[in-house]
Structure 1
Amino acid sequence: MPIATVNPATGETLRTFDPLGPGEIDQCLADAAHAFAAFRTTGFAQRSALLNRAADLLEGDLDDIARTMTIEMGKPLAAARAEAAKCVKAMRWYATHAESLLADERPADADVRDSGASAVRAHYRPLGVVLAVMPWNFPLWQVVRFAAPALMAGNVGLLKHASNVPQTALYLGELFERAGYPHGCFQTLLIGSDAVEAVLRDGRVAAATLTGSEPAGRAVASVAGSEVKKTVLELGGSDPFVVMPSADIERAASTAVVARVQNNGQSCIAAKRFIVHADVYDEFAERFTAGMAALTVGDPLQETTDVGPLATERGRADLEELVDDAVGRGASVLCGGRRPPGHDQGWFYEPTVLAGITEDMRIDQEETFGPVATLYRVADLDAAVERANHTPFGLSSNVWTRDEAEVDRFVRDLQAGGVYVNGMTASHPALPFGGVKRSGYGRELSGHGIREFCNVTTVWQAAS
């Protein structure tokens, strides 16, 4: 795949970049290893000052980098600005809290007295050079939510970004250099996917993190496993949005629209399957469909646009195949279901709602990465839980109910990394983020995320 900026609103190739050659990659690895040898010994105060400086620079660049993201992958400009601002917030959060999150842990004296120790503690040390393989859908946020905790823990990073967002990728490498990080602490590798295995197998790389598709996750996990290297994977999602009779239906429906089309529908944690109790199904379906149909599809650089193009031509084709398969097998199109008239250039697709989904349809089990929602009618709580779990994925979930007993049941039984009650899934630096089943393993963000790439060292001192 070429490394190029292709405007998804027009299909025009704006810039192309040559991938790094073997010698250049080796130099980056050498620079990273050299940087880690010194950076690992820095204190939290020094790391915090550097990360706060990077946050200040990003805040000053907010409008420019937002425009770059929109041109490269098509998200509405307002959403791109919000993404950049969220990155600033996360950087400052980790700059403030990393030291306490990685403080030594000491068991009670009574618990270890019989081990013959006078003092015992668990100490967190950085692992080393971490390779980050990142996707295009949140080209700034996905990287920062790895980089901020990793750097604050004393690790260094190598970024292999998606090949269709090279300018955002280069900006990130330059940002940390401008902030004053020692050379080699964070580097962007402009390489294709065929070069990832060799980098991951290199002895100077200690671990890897990947956000992306299930096939990409399998490939990275397989290589890392053969090298016995730590990985964190955040893969696909087909998140349920469950609506029960006690819910505020008007608010649930309006939130559902946002939850489905955020980032033009190209988000792992976007709600995708809308599972509605029969008692309120008709009202929810009417409100939700009306909200989806009212969205403005158009140029993502225009402030009035709600939904921009899909990021790639292949992505739109994949989405069309899922919709066509469902319709061909009997699904009803409540709105959308086609390329919008008047948008002959670019990779646009109408916000779409499908009903009457059956298990023989591909869309029942595959992730829809675009503004397409599926509606399911269920008879009761048991059926809602069963339908929500009827997926190979388990990233997050949304439940709408004012019945506390139902909340307890959903929290206990939903197979997901998160349960969001009367709201939509969103990531926050203080909250752990990740999934189960084929949505991956490990956690990002919060204290759990910063500890993923640390060596938890037991320190035991003998009693005198």
Structure 2
Amino acid sequence: MSALTCISPVDNQVFATREPVSIEVARAMIRQGKTAGKAWAQRPLSERRDIVMAAIHRLGTEKDDAANEMAHMMGRPIHQFFEFNGCLERATYMASVAEEALAPIIIENSLQFERRIEKEPRGLVLIVAPWNYPYLTTINSLVPALISGNAVLMKHATQTLLVGERLERVFKQAGLPDGVLQNIYLDHETSSALISEGHFGFVNFTGSVGGGKAMEHAAAGTFTPVGTELGGKDPAYVMDDADMDAAVAALMDGAFFNAGQCCCGIERIYVHETRYEEFIEKAVAEVLRLKLGNPFDKDTTIGPMANVRFANEIRQQIAEAVEAGAKLHIPASAFPLDDGAAYLAPQLLTDVTHDMRIMQEESFGPVVAVMKVGSDEEAVRLMNDSSFGLTVSLWGQDAERVAHLGKMLETGTVFMNRCDYLDPAICWTGCKDTGHGVTLSILGYNALTRPKSFHLRKN
């Protein structure tokens, strides 16, 4: 069994190595989790909630160390490590709605009958987290899973190998009983085998479409529910009445923050023909203000991609688009630190078509393509011309117009005059190849619990 090795994109050196556990050890951890989870579920909701929130606050005290560690593991500039702010915001909201979300639904409570629907924890939840935002994506499911009385087995990506250790430690320090939350190191084959054996009450996976298919394939026939969030090719539409300065600033940040390595990052932009030239001029100027560099440099605004092969995939998509007629707007000379490896210069393309991979396949890197459109109808048609459906960002002054367009869009979230944000009060979900998971909001508790009906005849 090969070791799991995190190669830092900063210097291409080994940063961390861990040995994956055998399937026998994994099964023992599963048994421990199930046993611990039964006792945990019997604890009052208020106790479970208090312990979880204590852990989240404890996690916040380690943000400087975590930022340093994350910069080494996946290259995000150290001063852009905002994940713990999001963790606190999301956890606080999910804790605040827990009592409402988990309350029984009372149908009747009379002298003759008591009829109600209760919500029980699913048991042992497997969370498989991605490397791009490993704390935030874990918290989305971890907090409601624990608050609702589940035990959790947590597997993190090799690129962010050490995140699970930190999470397990702070939750234990906050008083979470042994076995309720366990970090585990697994290879893909063992992960699939464990799922196919039906050990889990729920599997939550965030990652690639291929990874999501592997999870669903492993769970086939076990009746294990699987929640998936598999990325996107998120579009934006800049209308004829948009605040252009605000649109450009937000959309370029949405496209290039974290080197574009965000499932809801902006990858396609459609601009009304009356504002197209203005948008391109201002967008190019905004991109040229970015600084590619070492993530430990305080002036760096875009660090290396997490892995050389990710960067090379972007280079290939760009090269194919240019070969097919696309125009590059960012000269190579503007970003001399592009080393042909993990450090990749940001790029903006025009003269693109939907026949190009750059407009169809997820890029997940620092590149954005822009197209001119003549009408709202054309913009909607092009935005829907995608196998993904996570978020859409619409820019204009008329909320009624935006809402009308939003109803026609095949997406999980419609944003107006903002992008690349998760509101914990609104469910995070998608459609098509983005997957069908639901996290956050009061609905986020539904996947992590199962209904049990009581029909009690008293006399």
Shorter-chain TM-score bucket reads over 0.9
SS at match of 1:457: strand
SS at match of 2:275: helix
TM-score w.r.t. the length of structure 2 is 0.95
Deviates more, 1:425-434 or 1:213-222: 425-434
Offset of residue 90 of structure 1 = 2.3
Offset of residue 128 of structure 1 = 0.7
Q: 1:425 to 1:165 in 2, by over 3 A?
A: closer
Aligned partners of 2:338, 2:385: CA distance in 1, in Å?
Answer: 36
Kept in 1: contact 2:198–2:224 (CA 8 A): no
2:263 maps to what in 1?
268
1:440 maps to what in 2?
435
Aligned partners of 2:339, 2:71: CA distance in 1, in Å?
Answer: 19
1:14 maps to what in 2?
15
Q: 1:208 to 1:454 in 2, by over 3 A?
A: same
Aligned partners of 1:405, 1:53: CA distance in 2, in Å?
Answer: 42
Q: Counterparts of 1:52-63 in structure 2 under 5 Å?
A: 52-63=53-64
Offset of residue 337 of structure 1 = 6.6
Structure 2: tracts of 5 or more residues without a match: none
Kept in 2: contact 1:339–1:348 (CA 8 A): no
Residue of structure 2 aligned with 1:311, choices 303, 306, 311: 306
- Offset from partner CA, 1:431-461 (integer Å, 9 cap, x none): 2101001100031111111221111122223
Offset of residue 178 of structure 1 = 1.7
Aligned partners of 1:340, 1:293: CA distance in 2, in Å?
Answer: 9
SS at match of 1:200: helix
Offset of residue 79 of structure 1 = 2.3
Q: 1:408 to 1:89 in 2, by over 3 A?
A: closer
Offset of residue 2 of structure 1 = 4.6
Offset of residue 14 of structure 1 = 2.1
1:42 equivalenced with 2:43 (yes/no): yes
- Offset from partner CA, 1:335-369 (integer Å, 9 cap, x none): 15799423548611111101111232111210111
2:395 maps to what in 1?
400
2:416 maps to what in 1?
421
2:133 maps to what in 1?
138
Q: Counterparts of 1:89-238 in structure 2 under 5 Å?
A: 89-107=89-107, 118-238=113-233
1:374 maps to what in 2?
369
- Offset from partner CA, 1:297-342 (integer Å, 9 cap, x none): 1111222211111001110111111111101111000115799423
Opposite residue 126 of structure 2, the aligned amino acid is L
Deviates more, 1:84-93 or 1:245-254: 84-93
Opposite residue 212 of structure 2, the aligned amino acid is G
Identity %: 28
Aligned partners of 1:147, 1:336: CA distance in 2, in Å?
Answer: 43
Kept in 1: contact 2:288–2:334 (CA 8 A): no
SS at match of 2:118: strand
Offset of residue 124 of structure 1 = 0.8
1:457 equivalenced with 2:452 (yes/no): yes
1:33 maps to what in 2?
34
Kept in 2: contact 1:131–1:209 (CA 8 A): yes
Q: 1:415 to 1:294 in 2, by over 3 A?
A: same
Structure 1: tracts of 5 or more residues without a match: none
- Offset from partner CA, 1:141-193 (integer Å, 9 cap, x none): 11111100110011111111111111112212222222211111111111112
Offset of residue 429 of structure 1 = 2.2
SS at match of 1:78: helix
2:66 maps to what in 1?
65
Opposite residue 18 of structure 1, the aligned amino acid is E
Offset of residue 428 of structure 1 = 2.7
TM-score w.r.t. the length of structure 1 is 0.94
Q: 1:159 to 1:143 in 2, by over 3 A?
A: same
- Offset from partner CA, 1:267-324 (integer Å, 9 cap, x none): 0101110011101111011111110121011111222211111001110111111111
SS at match of 1:419: strand
Opposite residue 378 of structure 1, the aligned amino acid is V
Q: Counterparts of 1:350-361 in structure 2 under 5 Å?
A: 350-361=345-356
1:384 maps to what in 2?
379
Kept in 2: contact 1:338–1:349 (CA 8 A): no
Query: How big is the alpha-carbon RMSD for the aligned residues of Structure 1 and Structure 2?
Result: 2.0
Aligned partners of 1:446, 1:395: CA distance in 2, in Å?
Answer: 16
Deviates more, 1:8-17 or 1:315-324: 8-17
Kept in 2: contact 1:9–1:346 (CA 8 A): no
Q: 1:345 to 1:386 in 2, by over 3 A?
A: closer
Opposite residue 207 of structure 2, the aligned amino acid is G
Deviates more, 1:165-174 or 1:127-136: 165-174
SS at match of 1:123: strand
Kept in 2: contact 1:11–1:346 (CA 8 A): no
Q: 1:199 to 1:250 in 2, by over 3 A?
A: same
Kept in 1: contact 2:229–2:435 (CA 8 A): yes
1:88 maps to what in 2?
88
